[in-house]
Amino acid sequence: MKQDIEHKISCPEGVAASLNGSDLTVKGKEGESVRSFNHSLISIGVEGADIILSCKNSTKREKCQMGTFQAHIKNMVNGVQNKFKYSLKICSSHFPMNVSVSGQSLTVKNFLGEKNARIAEIPVGVSVKVQDKDIIIESIERELAGITASRIEQLTRVTNKDRRIFQDGIYITGKDDRRLQ
């Protein structure tokens, strides 16, 4: 059954939102996040410190899309307040692995004794720090932080070897687990 739906997302103090066409900009103490929300039936508006999502005569599909938009907006608001953080662990038992960050790329040298270096690109807006055997990834955008962590983990994936013996690699050990409010 079709019905009218309206969701209101309140921005906390210190966070400002503005709308330019279909692009929503959220600014906070950690930075600025911009995302485009295009949908023909769902309208987005900003009134003071509130972001309002509304849809008239919505079906199941529009309800699902509104839930997705609402989750993305809450992630944007959370990200500009406190950065999302992932932590990875460097494990090397057979060969000493060298991991370094230079510019917008992370380089892994001597992985399982390989002569060629493995390189992962780091997207703009993500900071990566290597501290001894730990890698810390921070970003105001949750998706970028997660994608970067998974790229680094997949960079050192071992194939055609016994996982119980060849445990070398870089593994995700922790991630920011802020639930949506």
What does the pLDDT look like over 37-87, one tens digit per residue?
998 899 999 998 899 999 998 889 999 999 999 999 999 999 999 999 999
Q: Is residue 132 part of a domain?
A: yes
| pLDDT of res. 93 | 83
In this structure, are 169 and 146 located in the same domain? yes
pLDDT in tens, 161-175: 887 888 889 999 998
What is the average per-residue pLDDT within 146-173? Answer: 90
H or E element at residue 74: helix 60-81
Q: Is residue 180 part of a domain?
A: no
What is the average per-residue pLDDT within 143-160? Answer: 93
Q: Which of 25, 59, 81 is the last residue of a domain?
A: 81
Domain that includes residue 160, residue range: 84-175
Q: Is residue 181 part of a domain?
A: no
Q: Which of 19, 48, 81 is the last residue of a domain?
A: 81
Question: What CATH number is given to the structural domain containing 36?
Answer: 3.90.930.12
Is the dihedral angle over the CA atoms 1, 45, 139, 28 positive or is it negative? negative
Whether pTM exceeds 0.85: yes
Which residues lie below 8 Å from residue 158, measured CB to CB, with a gap of 6+?
112, 166, 168, 169
Question: Which 8-state DSSP code applies to residue 6?
Answer: E
Q: Which of 81, 116, 148 is the last residue of a domain?
A: 81
Q: How many structural domains is the chain composed of?
A: 2
In this structure, are 40 and 101 located in the same domain? no
Are the CB atoms for 95 and 111 separated by under 8 Å?
yes
In this structure, are 57 and 106 located in the same domain? no
In this structure, are 23 and 76 located in the same domain? yes
Are the CB atoms for 140 and 123 separated by under 8 Å?
no
| pLDDT of res. 179 | 60
- Looking at per-residue confidence, does 89 or 94 come out higher? 89
| pLDDT of res. 64 | 92
Instruction: Find the Cα–Cα–Cα–Cα dihedral 22, 25, 26, 30, rounded to 10°.
Output: 150
Q: Is 47 helix (H, G, I), strand (E, B) or coil?
A: strand
| pLDDT surpassing 70 at residue 180 | no
In this structure, are 67 and 108 located in the same domain? no
